[in-house]
A = this chain, B = another copy of it.
Amino acid sequence: MTDKEAAQLITGAAKGCPKECGQAYAPVNIALCKYWGKRDEMLNLPVTSSLSLSLPELGATTRISFREGHDQLFLDGVEQSRDSVSARRVSKYLDLFRPDRSTFFHVESESTVPIAAGLASSASGFAALALALNDLFQWNLGLRDLSILARLGSGSAARSIYTGFVLWHAGTREDGMDSFAEPVDGEWPGLCMGLIMVSRREKAVSSRIAMKRTVDTSALYRAWPAKVESDLKNLRQAIEKKDFDLLGRTAESNALAMHATMMDSQPPVLYWMPETVEEIRKIWRLRDNGLPVYFTMDAGPNIKMLFMEKDASLIREHFPDMEIALS
């Protein structure tokens, strides 16, 4: 099945009546158990399920309307050249939804996170775009369907449709209709995530390429699905029982294992900077001294710390540059 057929399977059943402009917001999400590896490149179907936490205050707001001639994309107020990577990727996604070949779109997206710095800007971007399209075309789709539509733009966007803890089911169907995200029960007041920006520069290797290279060349990746299975079980248990140490330990281990499979790829992918090692060691030192703080990392050099609100002021003392993203 192609991505276009998948999109039409969902939107074709919806009786929309387009309005002039669609608008939506979607949060960034940080995976505690990572999405790493595709079983279908075109449909963004993952090898394993994954589990994330959405950061309600960081995300993308997207407006979309019709225009003629060609698509137009503004990111944070700056028009993107038509042959830029981002404009081409968005236009390719919009191809799935054009009523006819002469319909084009004007898209404006404002993001509160730096783009391509390992902060999942594409997840919130494509989730906001899918939601904005739903608003524009007045499809009134359910969140599951929207999660699938978002996934067709960027895998982890499937999870940015929701707030809180979110589980994205890998699914087994070839058409991906069982590969959607849904919320995991469990409010967790006081749970904090703090960002340490080691670098704001664009990554040398995109996560898309790093993921594909890992699947294609890493010998250790063969053991990744078993690792994920065990980590997901532990994370769900941690959320259910509000066991912060189990949550932190599992998320940290999962992130390290993902980076481990990258390092094992050929040629190796290493997102770590010297400062990454420095911050990791600092976190471990603080933890050895009794401060419950853990970290996770995505496909980039930056670090996301997990801690409880009661420890926030102490954490801030040790990491004055930290941006608290959730509390």
Contact = CB atoms under 8 A, between A and B. Distances in A.
A316 interface: no
Summarize A's interface: helix, strand, loop or mixed: helix
Given A274-B277, A277-B276, A249 B220 contact: no
Nearest to A229: B219
6 closest Cβ pairs, A-B complex: A260-B260, A274-B274, A219-B227, A223-B223, A220-B220, A257-B264
Interface residues of A, number: 31
Contact of A260 (B249, B264, B266, B275): B264
A273 B277 contact: yes
A221 interface: yes
Interface string A220-233: 11111011001000
A319 interface: no
A208 interface: no
Interface in A200-225: 219-224
A272 interface: yes
Contacts of A274: 274-275, 277-278
Contact of A266 (B226, B249, B280): B249
